Structure 1
Amino acid sequence: MSGSIVVINPNSNQAVTDGLDAALAPFRLEGAPAIECVTLTEGPFGIESQLHSDQVVLPLARLVEARSDAAAFVIACYSDPGIDACRAISPVPVFGIQESGVLAALARADRIGIVAISDASERRHRLYMRRMGVSARIAGERALNMSVDESARGAGTFDRLLEVGGALIGDGAEALVLGCAGLATHRTRLEAALGLPVIDPTQAAVADALGAVLAARL
C-alpha cells in the first residue's frame, strides 16, 4: 500500500491544522508513509455543535473520494464526524481521533478522563463512547469551555488544562484524553505537569494508521 496518510482537519481554521502538523513531526520517520495534514476549507471555523459536526459529513466524503492516492485517512476532529460515511466509500482505512484516542488511553489505564472543549460537546462524546461500549471505564469528562480557536492559540489554555486535568484526576482518571485536535501542542507539557499519561488523539490515530499501512506492506 503506497501513498500518504492524509490527516483532515474538518474545520477551516488553519491554525489548528498547523498545530496538528507540528504535533505529528515525530511520526515522520525515514521509510515510513508520508503524513499530510490538510484543511477542509468548506468546514466551520470550529466544530462546536452537533450541527457543525453533521454539516461536514458530505464535504469530508467528497475529499476522501478525491484523494485516491491516499494510503489511509485520519479525521482530526474529536467527534469523528463523517467516519461511517467515509469508511463506507474509502478503499483504505479511515481512523477517527476520538475512537483511537480513547482506545489508546484504555491501553494505558483502567479509568480515563476526557478533556472537552465545551459543555455542549459532552453529550456527543458520551453517545459515541456508549456506542464504543467503553462508558464504564470513563471516570469523567470535564470541559474547558473555550472555543476551538482559543484552545489552539489562547494564552490561558494551558492553565485551564491544568485545572481541568487536576479535577479529572480527582474523579479517578488514571490517563487523560485531549478532546480536541486543537489541543495537540499542549500534550507533552501537560503530561509532565500532571504526572500521568496524556493522550493526544490525533497522534493516537496516526499511530494506528501507520501500523495499518506498514502491516499492509508485509
Structure 2
Amino acid sequence: MSGPILVVNPNANPAVTAGMDAALACYRLPGGPSIECLTLADGPFGIESPADAQRAIPPLMALVQARPDAGAIVIACYSDPGLDVCRSLTAAPVFGIQEAGVLTAMARADRFGVIAVADGSIPRHRLHLRRMGVLGRLAGERAVNLSVDQTARPEAEAPLTAVGAALCADGAEAIVLGCAGMSRHQAALSRSLGVPVIDPVRAAVAMALGALLAPD
C-alpha cells in the first residue's frame, strides 16, 4: 500500500481546504491511497500576488520534508508555488494544479480558457503557460476579481458563470478554474456553460492516483 496523497492548500484559509476535501470525495477509492487535504497554517490567507506565492514556499518546503510517508503530493494553488523545489526535496511525485488543469483541458479540447481570481494573477499564470509551451492553445484568461475567500462561497457562482461565458465567446472549448477555492462550483459551471469545466485540484489528484495505482 502506498502512502497517502497529500493535497496541500498553501494558503491559511480552511474554507478553501474544506471545499477541496468535499470535491475529492469521489476519488477516495476502496483499497486505494488515502487522500489528506491539509491547510498550510503558516501560509498567506490567500495567494493573490507574487509576494503571496513566495511567502508560501518556505512553509511548503518544510511540510514536504516533514512528510516522507507521502505517496504523492499535490500543491493546490493555481500559481504552482514551489513546484520545482518541492520536487527536488522528495522522491514522491509532486503535482501542481495549474500544470495538471491545463494538461487535462488540452486533453478535452483544442483551445482552453482560464478563470483567474484577479487581473493581477494573469501575468503570473501566463509565465507558467509560456514555460509549458502551450500559449498557442490558450483562447483567453479573464478575471472574476474576487478574493480567494470569496471564490469559495456560494454567491461566487453567478460571477464565475459570467466570466466563463465570456471565455466561451473568446473561443474556449474547455474552461480551467484558476483557483483551488473554485472547486465547489465545477459541476454547476459545467452545466451552465455546456463545455468541460476543469477543476485543477481534481485533475492533479487524478494524476497522482494514476501514478500510485499504476507505478513505473
TM-score class, shorter? over 0.9
State how far apart, in whole Å, the 2-side matches of 1:59 and 1:85 are: 12
2:108 partner letter: R
Following the alignment from structure 1 to structure 2, what is the Cα–Cα distance between the partners of residues 89 and 105?
Answer: 28
Name the structure 1 match of 2:67. 67
Query: 1:97 — aligned with what?
Result: 97
Aligned letter for 2:38?
V
> How far does the alpha carbon of each residue in 1:130-165 deviate from its partner, in whole angstroms, 9 at most, with x for none?
00000000000000001000001252x111011100
Match of 1:215 in 2: 214
Task: Give the CA deviation at 1:56.
Answer: 1.0
SS across alignment from 1:56: helix
Q: 1: distance between equivalents of 2:153 and 2:199? A: 17
Residue correspondence of structure 1 range 114-125 to structure 2 within 5 A: 114-125=114-125
Equivalent pairs, count: 216
Q: Do residues 24 (structure 1) and 27 (structure 2) align?
A: no
Q: Counterpart of 2:107?
A: 107
Are positions 1:135 and 2:135 aligned together? yes
Counterpart of 1:7 in structure 2 is: 7
Q: Which amino acid aligns with 1:193?
A: S
Q: Deviations over 1:42-76 (max 9, x none)?
A: 00110000000011111111100000111000000
Percent of residue pairs bearing the same amino acid type: 61
Partner Cα separation in structure 2 for residue 70 and residue 8 of structure 1: 12
Shift of 1:8: 0.1
SS at match of 2:36: strand
Structure 1 Cα separation of the partners of residues 3 and 147 of structure 2? 34
For normalisation by structure 1, the TM-score amounts to 0.98
Could you tell me how far apart the structure 2 residues matched to 1:96 and 1:161 are?
Answer: 22
The amino acid that maps onto 1:45 is F
Q: Which residue of 2 aligns with 1:50?
A: 50
Structure 2 unaligned blocks of 5 or more: none
How far, CA to CA, are the matches of 2:63 and 2:34 in structure 1?
Answer: 18
2-side partners of 1:60 and 1:90: how far apart? 12
SS in 2 for 1:141: strand
Query: Which residue matches 1:166?
Result: 165
Deviations 1:187-214 (A, max 9, x none): 0011011111000000000000000011
* Partner Cα separation in structure 1 for residue 154 and residue 45 of structure 2: 15
Which portions of structure 1, spanning 4 or more consecutive aligned residues, are displaced by more than 2 angstroms? none
Distance 2:78 2:213 in 1: 25
The structural deviation recorded for 1:182 is 0.1
> Secondary structure, in 3 states, of the residue corresponding to 2:152?
helix
Deviation at 1:31, TM superposition (A): 1.2
Matching residue of 2:87: 87
Counterparts of 1:69 and 1:108, CA distance in 2:
33
Normalising by the residue count of structure 2, what TM-score does the alignment of the two structures yield?
A: 0.98
Letter in 1 for 2:190: E
